Amino acid sequence: MQVKLSSKGQLVIPQKIRRALDLKPGTEFNIELAGRQIILQPVIDKQAALEAIDALYGMFPGSDLLDALEAEHRWEIERDIKREQSLPS
């Protein structure tokens, strides 16, 4: 995909790329020079990321998800053993 640098030094990021990366007006970028390549990386909104993580805390109070996963795995193993034992030799 080719874009053109304006007389003000601006580039337009094509809509397809903006949509794929969910870039919104006002998104900030880090810019780096790597040899003769320009690397643009959207700056992650750390506050929004922290808020999303915080929203997950407390969703499953009183439950131990690891114990539930272990119990489910144990049940699957026992089921598979029973199936193998019931197969004709």
Q: Report the pLDDT value the prediction gives residue 89, as an integer from 0 to 100.
A: 61
Residues 6+ apart with CB under 8 A from 23: 13, 17, 42
Q: Report the pLDDT value the prediction gives residue 52, as an integer from 0 to 100.
A: 76
CB burial of residue 86 (10 Å; 0-12, 13-18, 19+): exposed
Q: Note the maximum CA span of the chain.
A: 79
Distances, alpha carbon 86 to alpha carbons 73, 76, 80, 82, 89, in Å = 20, 15, 10, 6, 9
User: Are 42 and 28 in contact, with CB atoms under 8 Å apart?
Assistant: yes
- Over residues 43-63, the pLDDT tens digits come to 877 777 777 777 777 777 777
- Over residues 1-43, the pLDDT tens digits come to 899 999 999 999 999 999 998 899 998 899 999 999 999 998 8
